[in-house]
Amino acid sequence: MTELRELYQEMILDHGKRPRNFRAQDDAESAAGHNPLCGDRVTVYVRTEDGVIRDVSFQGSGCAISTASASLMTEALSGKTVEEARALFRRFHELVAAEGDEQGLGKLEVFKGVRDFPMRVKCATLAWHTLCAALDHEKDLVTTE
């Protein structure tokens, strides 16, 4: 395994064990997501002001990949506009689905290895799909199946 891969794996394990922004928000939009294949569940909370994301957080239970993905997502989105957030998700999805590169993705690049495990693409994108539902004020449970 290359040093870079080890570093990526370490960061995923760290965020999986000690997720950042792991909290509910009373005054935020929220949506719930579920991956029925794995059983992972996540609730994403997002507070926007004039089209800018002021606070984003999550709670849930799941594997290292879905938890780390939610954690790194919250870090990546703070201060971004809603449109920038949607664009970042498109790029992130392209990265993990092997349809794009890591240019401009910052720390989210650590999920590049997911492209070798197509079954895990939904694990890595669960929080992002759920974020989009929260931004779109969708009340139905988001499911990856």
Which spans of this chain sit near ligand FES (rule: CB under 6 A)?
A: 35, 38, 40, 62-63, 65-66, 123, 126
CB of 142 to ligand FES, least distance (A): 12
Choose between 40 and 109: whose C-beta lies nearer to ligand FES. Answer: 40
CA distance 15 to 139: 27
Choose between 80 and 93: whose C-beta lies nearer to ligand FES. Answer: 93
Contacts of 91 (CB under 8 A, 6+ apart): 100, 104, 105
Choose between 35 and 74: whose C-beta lies nearer to ligand FES. Answer: 35
CB of 8 to ligand FES, least distance (A): 17
CB of 65 to ligand FES, least distance (A): 6
CA distance 129 to 133: 6
Contacts of 38 (CB under 8 A, 6+ apart): 62, 63, 66, 123
CB of 118 to ligand FES, least distance (A): 12
CA distance 18 to 101: 27
Q: Decide: 35 and 59 in contact? Cβ < 8 Å.
A: no
Choose between 78 and 143: whose C-beta lies nearer to ligand FES. Answer: 143
CB of 145 to ligand FES, least distance (A): 11
Q: Decide: 93 and 105 in contact? Cβ < 8 Å.
A: no
Choose between 1 and 119: whose C-beta lies nearer to ligand FES. Answer: 119
Number of residues assigned to the chain: 145
